[in-house]
Amino acid sequence: AQKITQTQPGMFVQEKEAVTLDCTYDTSDPSYGLFWYKQPSSGEMIFLIYQGSYDQQNATEGRYSLNFQKARKSANLVISASQLGDSAMYFCAMRGDNYGQNFVFGPGTRLSVLP
């Protein structure tokens, strides 16, 4: 069975600094996708970034980058130059490549950006 672990229930970061949110996963699938989502207090889930298990390079999207270490089964999200608007819950998720598999979400990390 697939499982996502996010060991940081809450994180604080100073505005304009970088922060890393941890995510480890467990799967026996040879091919899978890893995703990060942001959920502000208003409730919507916003897709941030995707990493494929066979991608050679770490994914980047603007201020977001994914530190993917396949052998360690980790997919940490790095947010550079934090902004006050980055304060939110962040969820790591994965999906295997087989038909019929659904997303598995981690428990989330609450990030608070301090002015």
Query: For residues 68 and 91, which CB has a smaller minimum distance to another protein in the complex?
Result: 91
Which of residues 18, 45, 81, 84 is near another protein by CB under 8 A? 45
Query: For residues 60 and 98, which CB has a smaller minimum distance to another protein in the complex?
Result: 98
Residues 6+ apart with CB under 8 A from 38: 45, 46, 48, 86, 88, 89, 90, 91
Least distance CB 104 / another protein (angstroms)? 9
Q: What is the dihedral of CA 22, 48, 37, 115, to 10 degrees?
A: 70
Interface with another protein in residues 25-44 (CB under 8 A): 31-33, 35, 37, 42-44
Rg (CA), the chain: 14
Query: For residues 32 and 68, which CB has a smaller minimum distance to another protein in the complex?
Result: 32
